[in-house]
Structure 1
């Protein structure tokens, strides 16, 4: 047997002998072997003939990923420049599983349930934030019922997956979900629902798949390797010949390259009612929540909504915004339009395009101020403005929310299901974030808020955007028409050779500088910004091949391939 061990530093397979006592071991299974006088876990990746004396496999550790998955995992290791063992581990159970259950037969849906389905050809589906994806999921399930394999549905969070599972089971589907039901997934359960890890569900074959909110950042792993579930499942469906539907409120250029774009119904009507407050035109003595938003908050507090007001302050990247005390204009770079920060006594953007003195470009005043407030300070100020107790929610928040006013980061969206008013106190942090997806991130943030307040057709709630720049993104949100922003991003991606028109990777860590210098000798474009190195190539295959072949210097090194 050929075995890959869990030792990520040695990314290659070794041959071991399988004794008669371990005849139950098959390709994909987990085993324990002796590796350099160490007892390590590993995975059987193939069978080989015995040509010399070999060490025996010490122990069988149960089932691992299905043998049919191994080529996909090998592709993933190449695609994200990571050891194969990392992906084998991601597709394996957290406990020892020695046998699987017998999967039930996928049953046809009742006629009343089928009537709820909405048919779309496979591809990318542009939806509004308040669209319920259930109709599309039902169509994908019913239309592929005769195909062998499992039907996969990915959603951004496990809490969402749990709710979706209940709804599908009510409609007669046999569903597996969560780490505790790995054995069901391994036996090709008819429907598998989950978050990012479900892209590597151990089912032998995928018959069809739906990814809800396919551009959501939750689908990208933050730990190394930084793989993303959308790209993984696209490749998996391609290999299995399975149809794939991807929904998005603001599809990226990369996502639109995965299939034809369809529009689902009245997209504009499903966006929330958005009120824009230009902070350059309001009384500078107003608090962090401006007067129009404050009046709406008081009306919401007088209603019977359990959560009346949600106030969002999201910090993206390392940007600190500066604004003029006199006219309120933001300090922005004249070359790239990013927000400028104080640097060496002057002002400059993160890329240091045009360093200049500390003054306002609009009115010439020299009294710029920081517009940066932390969540804790914001919660205190909002409590004082409204004379209400406030719950402060960030990613580290534990427990239940009892206050009717909630202040926090986007972690609030995972904790609150419904409210009357959402206020983005500093929307410029989205618009001026130093990354190419900043405009779409702004749209997605408002889309998440829409799921709390409802659509503009419902008239139940409202979203307030406080900003110092009224650009095309803000205009699109007011109208509920995000197509111009999507088209503009696609043109920009093509012009700048961003994915899918090019390939990019980010290199960081103490050894990043030396490694980046070696990459330039292979013809890759390398740019230094914000303490990291951004590497560009014409396509992903060229980029990953050079990243793998270039010798790595000693020291910590982190690679993120996009």
Structure 2
């Protein structure tokens, strides 16, 4: 008896852009039952064995020659669901990439032992009910308020409606922390964690459990946005501006945009939580695609610590130039009486930057010209780039052998604090040694941004040292990033009503500091969004960064030269790498993305050097 659906349409697991399309293969009769859409197979292509995903089964093929047969079905499990396939194709089109590149993020590597232990029969596709009151919203939570309460409340409402929730966090530590809190407060909820940081077997087991619909809530990091949930009611993301949400591999997608695309595709709720909005979310609020949900009494002293700046220290100009002003010392001394004190230092080591003591030129490595630093007191300077010890260093401008410290690091800060507070326990957190929690009392903790440990009942006081290093970062997101890092520190403090205080070594006139003093973080984000609109930068427009060989970049420039609907920055030449870069800005991204994709496919067919396309990158670089 002839089989009705005897042809499989597959997408090859191959990174070449010109092979990013469907190919037809005949299904051998012995594989007919197990070769279904969603499974991975082996096929012959150009005399090579390749893996491929079965997308659909059809009766007839438009291929006029005799079709090659599928060699093998790698796994009987249809792990690629139709909804994830559709989402992956949308993401590939949006970020100028290949479908298979996206599928590598969506489907974790197969673990045969885990598959054998898993019961395929348990996989059920629930009936989807359309949700009429879909909301896309953003909630800004003050720093001294427990974020988990608001997120768990949204999860409970979703479960009540018989739907599943997907919660995204920027790192595995926050994932595990939220999971523990959720299980403690809602013990009956079925929870799965999905993250690339898990052991491969654990990750694949979680993936199969989610695929089998045996879960209410999935909590994960960036790649979990593709979790095969089949009855989604809510996608929530915490701190969506975090750089960890941006993929560093082609097609350079970011979790916030994919989460919004998936929420629209599924017709489910989307919620962005954070201590401040991202500029991208702010733009969507301005465009009325997302609603801003106010937090009641958000500027209360019960939700914020008291903020001090250099303007609160002294009118003496010499006092204001000190790295640690007297007011900061007073806060440390006072804070130690009632609890722990946190000191944030932007740099590790003893000194993260050295200068010639004579001419004040930056001390550079004689080999690679990288900046020199010292890791310990009296240690020889080392190159930050190549790691060579510069024990015989001489200034290339004045031949002096002496150098001075221009940027103090964590180690020297501990030394200075130890001299001023003898007998006080001082702990460090940062680099390879990160503390997650501190049980000791009346101690000083010196930490780098993002490595600040929690302490029971919160810190009594905090000092933000060398604020200029964070505020002066040459980055498009410098102000937003500084605000986020400082807000994270503020979440660890007691509120002002309980005596919590923070000292920032910056003038109160700075915009980031002003937002903290005003207790209105979105005031700064509103301002940033207006600046981006004036300068025609993301997110007011879609930006496409194109980097490759100068010849190919010049061809792209010629293609878009006469297009009045776009703006072009560059080309920027990287002589060392022999590469060039341009950045295209457009308010009509669909047409431009399609044109760029067509040009990249032409380069691939001609076997020229590849051009890397990066849509809405975290930074212009």
The alignment's TM-score, normalised by the length of structure 2, stands at 0.70
**Offset of residue 477 of structure 1:** 1.1
Q: 1:526 to 1:506 in 2, by over 3 A?
A: same
**1:466 aligned to which of 502, 505, 524:** 505
**1:95 aligned to which of 110, 115, 122:** 110
The alignment partner of 1:223 has SS state of coil
2:143 is equivalent to residue 129 of structure 1: yes
CA distance in 2, matches of 1:385, 1:517: 60
**Offset of residue 380 of structure 1:** 4.8
**1:165 aligned to which of 154, 179, 192:** 179
CA distance in 2, matches of 1:293, 1:124: 35
Asked if the contact 1:288/1:378 (under 8 Å) is kept, the reply is: no
Asked if the contact 1:271/1:447 (under 8 Å) is kept, the reply is: no
Tell me the residue number matched to 2:29. Answer: 20
Tell me the residue number matched to 1:184. Answer: 209
Asked if the contact 1:34/1:57 (under 8 Å) is kept, the reply is: yes
CA distance in 2, matches of 1:49, 1:120: 39
Tell me the residue number matched to 2:567. Answer: 525
CA distance in 2, matches of 1:542, 1:383: 61
List per-residue Cα deviations over 1:225-278 (Å, max 9, x = no partner). 321111111110101110111123222342131411111122223233221126
Q: 1:2 to 1:313 in 2, by over 3 A?
A: same
The 10-residue stretch of structure 1 (415-424 or 250-259) with the greater mean CA deviation from structure 2: 415-424
2:6 is equivalent to residue 5 of structure 1: no
CA distance in 1, matches of 2:316, 2:97: 51
Asked if the contact 1:314/1:409 (under 8 Å) is kept, the reply is: yes
Q: 1:321 to 1:12 in 2, by over 3 A?
A: farther
**2:41 aligned to which of 28, 31, 38:** 31
Q: 1:185 to 1:101 in 2, by over 3 A?
A: farther
List per-residue Cα deviations over 1:331-386 (Å, max 9, x = no partner). xxxxxxxxxxxxxxxxxxxxxxxxxxxxxxxxxxxxxx995344455555555554
CA distance in 1, matches of 2:592, 2:414: 45
CA distance in 2, matches of 1:147, 1:275: 46
The alignment partner of 2:58 has SS state of coil
Asked if the contact 2:239/2:272 (under 8 Å) is kept, the reply is: yes
CA distance in 2, matches of 1:398, 1:390: 14
CA distance in 2, matches of 1:250, 1:512: 39
Asked if the contact 1:17/1:55 (under 8 Å) is kept, the reply is: yes
List per-residue Cα deviations over 1:440-497 (Å, max 9, x = no partner). 22221121001211333443x3322112673232122123122432322232232223
CA distance in 2, matches of 1:385, 1:12: 67
**Offset of residue 43 of structure 1:** 1.7
The 10-residue stretch of structure 1 (2-11 or 527-536) with the greater mean CA deviation from structure 2: 527-536
CA distance in 2, matches of 1:68, 1:2: 17
CA distance in 2, matches of 1:13, 1:473: 50
Tell me the residue number matched to 1:203. Answer: 229
CA distance in 2, matches of 1:512, 1:413: 42
**Offset of residue 392 of structure 1:** 4.7
Asked if the contact 1:154/1:199 (under 8 Å) is kept, the reply is: yes
CA distance in 1, matches of 2:497, 2:245: 30
**1:397 aligned to which of 433, 442, 450:** 433
The Cα RMSD (Å) is: 3.7
CA distance in 2, matches of 1:376, 1:554: 49
2:560 is equivalent to residue 560 of structure 1: no
Count of aligned pairs between the two proteins: 497
**1:446 aligned to which of 471, 486, 490:** 486
Tell me the residue number matched to 2:330. Answer: 295
CA distance in 1, matches of 2:236, 2:550: 40
**Offset of residue 389 of structure 1:** 6.7
Asked if the contact 2:309/2:507 (under 8 Å) is kept, the reply is: no
2:343 is equivalent to residue 310 of structure 1: yes
The aligned runs of 1:302-341 (5 Å cut-off) are 302-305=337-340, 308-313=341-346
The alignment partner of 1:136 has SS state of helix
CA distance in 2, matches of 1:427, 1:90: 37
**Offset of residue 44 of structure 1:** 1.6
Structure 1: tracts of 5 or more residues without a match: 107-118, 323-368
Asked if the contact 1:150/1:205 (under 8 Å) is kept, the reply is: yes
Asked if the contact 1:104/1:174 (under 8 Å) is kept, the reply is: no
The 10-residue stretch of structure 1 (282-291 or 294-303) with the greater mean CA deviation from structure 2: 282-291
CA distance in 2, matches of 1:266, 1:185: 39
The alignment partner of 2:496 has SS state of coil
Structure 2: tracts of 5 or more residues without a match: 1-7, 127-132, 195-202, 356-403, 575-580, 617-621
The alignment's TM-score, normalised by the length of structure 1, stands at 0.77
Tell me the residue number matched to 1:115. Answer: none
